[in-house]
A and B are shown apart, each in its own frame.
Chain A
Amino acid sequence: MKVLVAVKRVVDYNVKVRVKADGTDVDVANVKMSMNPFDEIAVEEAVRLKEAGKASEIVVVSMGVKQCEETLRTALAMGADRALLVETDAELQPLAVAKLLKAVAEKEQPQLVIVGKQAIDDDANQTGQMTAALLGWPQGTFASKVDLAAETADITREIDGGLETVKLRLPALVTADLRLNEPRFIKLPNIMAAKKKPLDKTTPADLGVDVTPRLKTLKVAEPAKRSAGIKVANAAELVAKLKNEAKVL
């Protein structure tokens, strides 16, 4: 069974992001970039499926600038078999990524597509759902457990009330949540081996996808600074403040 995993290159989770002076975007120049942590979980899940003998090949795909190659190499070092970069300098919004991913899925014909539930840069939480819809495939989002059979997959989902298990007919799409697994530390020999694994490149034009943004960013701003707290004399004052000032009661 072939598994396709999509990974995104994002600002590293340890970096304190800064907004560009002109308020148009976040400043990513000279900032450490890494694989989106939820995508790392997606890759790890695919590798575990392969190690368990349930998957036979893992193809990892990324969309974006040339440096996404590094992210793909990381996925290859984790255990993916080959990589595909859809290279473009254009801004990619979730719908464009979903269309690209659909095109790649149609070409690769995987039985399972795994993506992170969202990327930690824009937190859109849309790509997985849109891709499944465009493909007309069943989707299991916010997965905390993937139980793969020959023709179906039981996906345990993290929902507000607790856990929900859905049975999907394959091919299907899964989005990985935080508790699906804990990604491994990469082994040194695998870093060396990843260099020799195939990494192909294509472009949105080659895939016949128009990636023109449909949404316009008006302004990017830092969140308001938290103001200093105050001490209250007693519970009654606290309740009063919550009612009248914070207006949360």
Chain B
Amino acid sequence: MIYNAPVKEIRFALNELAELTSVCSLPGYEDCSVELVDAILEEAAKFAEGVLAPINKQGDKGAKWQDGEVTAAPGFKEAWQQYVESGWVGLRAPAEFGGQGMPALVAIAAEEMWCSANLAFSLAPLLTLGAVEAIHHHASDALKAVYLPPMSSGAWTGTMNLTEPQAGSDLAQVRSRAVPQADGSYLVTGQKIFITWGEHDMAENIVHLVLARLPDAPAGVKGISLFIVPKFLVNADGSLGARNDVRCVSLEHKLGIHGSPTAVMSFGDNGGAVGYLVGEANKGLNYMFTMMNHARLGVGVEGMSVSERAYQKAVEYARDRVQSRAVGSPDPAGVPIIRHPDIRRMLLTIRAQVEAQRALAYFTAASLDRAARHPVTSEAARNQALVNFLIPIVKGWNTEQANELTSLAVQVHGGMGFIEETGVAQYYRDARITAIYEGTTGIQALDLIGRKTFSEGGATARSLLAEALATADKLAAAGFDSFAANLKSAAAEAERCVAFILSTFGEQPQLAAAGSVPFLKLMGIVLGGWQLGRGALIARERLGEDGADEDFLKAKMATARFFGEHLLPQASGLAAAIVSGADSVMELDEAWF
């Protein structure tokens, strides 16, 4: 199953739309340059294409559990070794602990390639980096010194132990307990489920970050603390000591991402697993929230990346498969199905949305970097507001659409798509989780209408819509007539919905909540269209330059036009449901379901 990293597309999104050079000029990123990033992209592409993509299909057979030990899918351990030796784990890990400290924008580009090549594998470094980030921001210097160097190199991996059977989206229900010991450590007991890469044989140690309650903790979300619980205890000299009292009880049988072992973890079956408090007591959930933006952006990129891979497979098949005469042609000879209008419509539907999603995700990553490092406080704050608003959209829209887009890729294959051997079905199955974990689409949408729209009086939403309208004006002036008109009316529909949410959320929040997911999708379409519009304007400008990459730039403009004529018009339908359809959501009596 071949994967061709779309480096040209990635470069366009990085350099032109997310303005990499301005990110490189932020304090602390002086070492970063367009040339360096080019070199990183080339090598990441080689690694993704040459090492990760070839083991994706065998990864689908899954990891194996026996007596608490988990053997990673065939080839994964070797690939992890190579990934670690090549230094990729450290791409955005802090420099003082052995990482390269690259901007989120650069990391996200590499992460796209890992996810496209092998989503199940990509979760191991993703979770490890999430744990690194949490420890780096919140743990004591002593804990950082022990755990960050081996985790930044990938010698040890990390996990997030949040979910329990009764505590899924609602983490206030967490019951795991941690009891303080005389030596300052804690004994942790409890059961955690859905622990991605919770147990495996790829690394010599696994560092679990565990949410648990102290004996005197208040009930609810304000009584949850965060602990480091290593699989093997670490001696004073950094060597590995005794096996900790934490076991993988079983692996889940899932719909997809079989290469990623999803563990049921049991802590403290034999008296208690030794853990170490991260930061202050009862602040665990806050600490988790600090990583949430990056993690949710990462999952948004996952959704887009799997759609990209499915697109590549569908295009390859559509070029190759000869079936039926061309529509309206007198010549009875069969033609490659890529010439059939409906196949083209499906391929373009995937392509246009993947491009829009990539642009929006990279734009958000750049905002994340500016929010963290911009020397002007007001600019940093403006970017933080952008991040806060865009994250639920990137996470929710990219992953919801991944379900639809990978499904379209299966559809392009016809019956062959339903046959596992073809390979495209794996993308469809793998994509399914992305709209669920790290906060379901419903959770993202509530976050979007509540904290991100209503609480700030719609300020960021309206500033982004104003930018979209400004882009629409430029598009009109540049002759992109249909696109400009449709972007303008879609932005107006979005504005109507923002006003509806602002007027209802306070008094009748159920009305706003009923249309929250459609609103998230609507914002995805409008802001994705805005990014493609920006791209089309840049493409037009570049076309006039010497030695312009004509095919690439013309394809950008044609893809944007398709988005403008096929996706943007969906805005009015969504807006109608949001503004007028709320009552019917609540009307049906619960007993009638």
Contact = CB atoms under 8 A, between A and B. Distances in A.
Interface in B164-187: none
B544 interface: no
A14 B49 CA distance: 12
A17 interface: no
B520 to A, nearest CB: 35
B570 interface: no
Given A185-B43, A185-B51, A186-B43, A192 B31 contact: yes
A27 to B, nearest CB: 11
A185 B547 contact: no
B547 A30 contact: yes
Interface string A25-44: 00001101010000000000
B91 A188 contact: yes
B470 interface: no
B142 interface: no
Contacts of A32: 7-8
B38 A70 contact: yes
B38 A185 contact: no
A167 interface: no
B87 A189 contact: yes
A187 B552 CA distance: 30
Contacts of A188: 40, 43, 86-88, 90-91, 100
Contacts of A209: none
A194 to B, nearest CB: 8
A186 B547 CA distance: 30
B39 A70 contact: yes
A191 B43 contact: yes
Contacts of B36: 191-192, 195
B547 A187 contact: no
B467 interface: no
B39 A185 contact: no
B70 to A, nearest CB: 26
B43 A189 contact: no
B50 interface: yes
Contacts of A74: 39, 42
Nearest to B46: A185
B552 A30 contact: yes
Interface string B33-45: 0011011101100
Interface residues of B, number: 29
B545 to A, nearest CB: 11
A21 B220 CA distance: 71
Contacts of A70: 35, 38-39
A190 B548 CA distance: 32
Contacts of B91: 188
A3 interface: no
Given A77-B39, A185-B43, A195-B36, A14 B4 contact: yes
B40 A191 contact: yes
Contact of B547 (A29, A77, A191, A195): A29
B47 A185 contact: yes
Interface string A8-26: 0000001000000000000
A220 to B, nearest CB: 19
Nearest to A188: B87
B549 interface: yes
A34 B86 CA distance: 20
A188 B107 CA distance: 12
A191 B110 CA distance: 14
A74 B321 CA distance: 39
Given A29-B547, A188-B88, A73 B552 contact: no
B82 interface: yes
A189 B88 CA distance: 9
Contacts of B90: 188-189
B153 to A, nearest CB: 10
Nearest to B33: A195
A192 B43 contact: no
Nearest to A31: B549
A32 B42 CA distance: 10
A80 B550 CA distance: 36
Interface string B549-564: 1111000000000000
Interface string A183-203: 001111111101100000000
Nearest to A69: B35
Interface in B84-127: 85-88, 90-91, 100
Nearest to B37: A191
Contacts of B43: 77, 185-186, 188, 191
Given A185-B47, A192-B100, A73 B87 contact: no
B40 A185 contact: no
Contacts of A192: 31, 36, 100
Given A73-B35, A74-B42, A188-B90, 20 more contacts: A29-B549, A30-B548, A30-B550, A34-B42, A70-B35, A70-B38, A77-B39, A185-B46, A185-B47, A185-B51, A186-B86, A187-B86, A188-B40, A188-B43, A188-B87, A188-B100, A191-B39, A191-B43, A192-B31, A195-B31
Interface of B: 4, 7-8, 31, 35-36, 38-40, 42-43, 46-47, 50-51, 82, 85-88, 90-91, 100, 547-552
Interface of A: 14, 29-30, 32, 34, 70, 73-74, 77, 185-192, 194-195
30 contacts: A14-B4, A29-B549, A30-B548, A30-B549, A30-B550, A32-B7, A32-B8, A70-B35, A70-B39, A73-B39, A74-B42, A77-B43, A185-B46, A185-B47, A185-B82, A186-B46, A186-B86, A187-B85, A187-B86, A188-B43, A188-B88, A188-B90, A189-B87, A191-B36, A191-B40, A191-B43, A192-B36, A192-B100, A195-B31, A195-B35
